[in-house]
């Protein structure tokens, strides 16, 4: 049945592409594959899994195509889709695995775990009698054991600091909302800041709510942060662009082999923020839907783009569900910005390994640190609606380049992050001091709280227990960053849990004042205002 399903899919695809010769070629290819598979099943000396061979064959076949066409098993497809859904069924905890132990970072607000009293810092020892701690404690296993159909019950054995014996909880699984707008707050008298981490089912609704809330607070200028956003649903990015762009202006279009894949999206609604300067923050981690949004705003001269060149993922995948619930994500078209730029960076068919090295090659070439290390293809020259010059060739090039800041980085800091030393310390500190900290508002914590020397010494001691060798020079280089991250995490764990909107404002309110890209954005609103009014001659971007 699986072979027939594969054959049917191939023949249907060939028919859609047109031409009897193509149908014949596909049929001949399928017949060869079927013969080989049948011979293996009948005559091969050892027992083998035919299903595994089929999965492997499909995956290897797709390696000959572009880097983003992919095959997902049924389990992988479910996991991938869940990343873009507005929620999932489970017990509702954010967890962390350290030393083969599953720690509760925080119970999610309004979830069943919070309702029955599970706390930050609790250790999950077993689930329905099956041990969860030990070498088998992996993210996949934790998800599999804790998630489940809403209404089902699960028994957790919890170890808690201060409790002499493990505590047993019975949790009834429920729908747990997930969020993609990570922050929305006033960063100045009339400056709003919104951080979008992905484009999921609920992103547009979350974004509209955040944008409306900031306007009510007096926002006249906006910083939209898309750094590190890997993309998601295209239509959510298009809808967001429509909130900024008036009239029926072009936002994005696609072109494919078949006419049905050629589509364009235009502005068509009265948006919430069609007037007022906008700055968009991007970097090499901004991809796909992030690039669609940034490209639309840049080409329509609606926003000033600041940061570094984006990833360059402009291929459109159509998800095709197969009969066994596995999924083929087939590239069917390309994205183009309103000026005609292809977002997709160059690639060679069948060379996905080299394609995967692009970001490391860009790092090695110095592109992340020096604007003049970026080699623009002068043949791919385009103009915005107002006549400004922009370039194609892959990704969105910012109007204002800001290099990556590595002044506080060190291997010592990377090791602290890698073993979750900073996160775990902040979690424990928050749990022990929460009542005292909450006696004052977050604003007092923001202005007055300092991560002091005794706290830093405790972090060093804990890191040495985890096998991290102390390096004085590297420690001094990263000391200010360590203090900053600890403070931001404590703020999140203490005041973030009091929030009911899914936002993590506290982290960004503490981190952003020390972020060079954010600081450049605040200084560039004069240029963003001139851009919005079409006064390009008044812009001073160098």
Rounded CA gap, 281 and 524, in Å?
A: 12
Catalytic annotation, pick one of 120, 180, 202, 288: 288
Rounded CA gap, 155 and 146, in Å?
A: 10
Phi, psi dihedrals of residue 152, rounded to the nearest 5°? -80, 155
Question: Which element (helix H / strand E) includes 270?
Answer: none
Kindly give the interhelix angle for 472-495 and 453-465, rounded to the nearest 10 degrees.
110
Helices and strands (H and E) in the chain: how many: 19, 21
Q: Within 10 Å of residue 393's Cβ, how many Cβ atoms?
A: 20
DSSP 340-399: S-B-PPP--TT-HHHHHTHHHHHHHTTTTT-GGG----TTSEEE-TTS-EEE-SSS---S
**Parallel/antiparallel/unpaired status of strands 191-196 and 221-225:** parallel
Catalytic annotation, pick one of 55, 122, 225, 299: 299
Handedness of CA 257, 258, 259, 262 (dihedral sign): negative
Catalytic annotation, pick one of 113, 180, 265, 313: 313
- Please tell me whether residue 509 adopts helix, strand or coil conformation: helix
User: Would residue 57 show up in a list of annotated catalytic residues for this protein?
Assistant: no
The beta-strand segments (E) located in 212-286 are 221-225, 250-256, 263-266, 278-282
**Parallel/antiparallel/unpaired status of strands 400-401 and 123-127:** unpaired
Alpha helices in 98-233 (DSSP H): 112-116, 139-146, 203-216
User: Would residue 288 show up in a list of annotated catalytic residues for this protein?
Assistant: yes
User: Would residue 128 show up in a list of annotated catalytic residues for this protein?
Assistant: no
Residue 357 CA: distances (Å) to CA of 52, 221, 345, 352 = 28, 37, 13, 9
Q: Within 10 Å of residue 49's Cβ, how many Cβ atoms?
A: 9
**Catalytic positions:** 288, 299, 313
């Amino acid at each position: 049945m699986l072979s027939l399903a594969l054959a049917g899919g191939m023949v249907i695809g060939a028919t859609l592409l047109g031409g009897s010769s193509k149908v014949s070629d596909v049929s001949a290819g399928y017949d060869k594959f079927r013969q080989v598979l049948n011979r293996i099943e009948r005559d091969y000396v050892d027992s083998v899994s035919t299903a595994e061979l089929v999965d492997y064959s499909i995956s290897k076949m797709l390696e000959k195509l572009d880097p983003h066409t992919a095959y997902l098993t049924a389990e992988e497809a479910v996991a991938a889709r869940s990343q873009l859904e507005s929620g999932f069924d489970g017990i509702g905890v954010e967890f962390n695995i350290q030393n083969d132990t599953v720690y509760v970072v925080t119970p999610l607000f309004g979830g069943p775990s919070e309702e029955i009293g599970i706390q930050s810092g609790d250790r999950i020892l077993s689930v329905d009698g099956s041990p969860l701690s030990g070498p088998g404690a992996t993210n996949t296993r934790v998800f599999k054991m804790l998630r489940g159909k809403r209404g089902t019950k699960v028994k957790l054995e919890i170890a808690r600091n201060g409790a002499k014996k493990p505590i047993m909880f019975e949790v009834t699984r429920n729908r747990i909302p997930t969020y993609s707008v990570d922050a929305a707050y006033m960063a100045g008298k009339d400056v709003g800041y919104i951080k979008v981490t992905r484009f999921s089912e609920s992103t547009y609704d979350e974004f509209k709510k955040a944008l409306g809330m900031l306007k009510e607070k007096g926002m006249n200028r906006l910083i939209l942060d898309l750094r590190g956003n890997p993309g998601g649903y295209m239509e959510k990015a298009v809808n967001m662009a429509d909130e900024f762009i008036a009239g029926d202006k072009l936002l994005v279009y696609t072109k494919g082999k078949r006419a049905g894949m050629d589509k364009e999206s235009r502005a068509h609604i009265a948006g919430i923020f069609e007037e007022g300067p906008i700055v968009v923050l991007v970097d090499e981690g901004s991809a796909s839907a992030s690039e669609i949004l940034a490209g639309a705003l840049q080409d329509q001269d609606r926003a000033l783009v600041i940061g570094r060149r984006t990833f360059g993922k402009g291929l459109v995948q159509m998800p095709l569900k197969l009969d066994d619930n596995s999924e083929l994500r087939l590239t069917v078209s390309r994205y183009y910005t309103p000026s005609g730029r292809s977002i997709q960076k160059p690639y060679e068919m069948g060379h996905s390994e080299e394609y995967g090295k692009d970001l490391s090659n860009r790092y090695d070439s110095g592109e992340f640190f020096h604007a003049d290390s970026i080699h623009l293809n002068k043949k791919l020259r385009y103009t915005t609606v107002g006549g400004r010059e922009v370039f194609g060739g892959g990704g969105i090039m910012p109007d204002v380049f800001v290099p990556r800041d590595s002044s506080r980085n060190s291997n010592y800091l990377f090791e602290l992050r890698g073993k979750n030393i900073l996160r775990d310390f902040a979690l424990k500190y928050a749990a022990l001091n929460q009542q005292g900290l909450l006696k004052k508002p977050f604003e007092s914590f923001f202005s007055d709280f300092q991560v002091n020397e005794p706290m830093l010494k405790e972090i060093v001691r804990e890191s040495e227990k985890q096998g991290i060798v102390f390096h004085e020079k590297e420690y001094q280089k990263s000391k200010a960053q360590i203090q900053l991250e600890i403070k931001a995490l404590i703020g999140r764990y203490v005041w973030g849990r009091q929030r009911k909107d899914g936002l993590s404002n506290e982290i960004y309110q503490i981190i952003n004042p020390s972020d060079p890209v954010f600081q450049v954005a605040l200084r560039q609103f004069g240029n963003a205002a001139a851009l919005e009014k079409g006064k390009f001659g008044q812009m001073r971007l160098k």
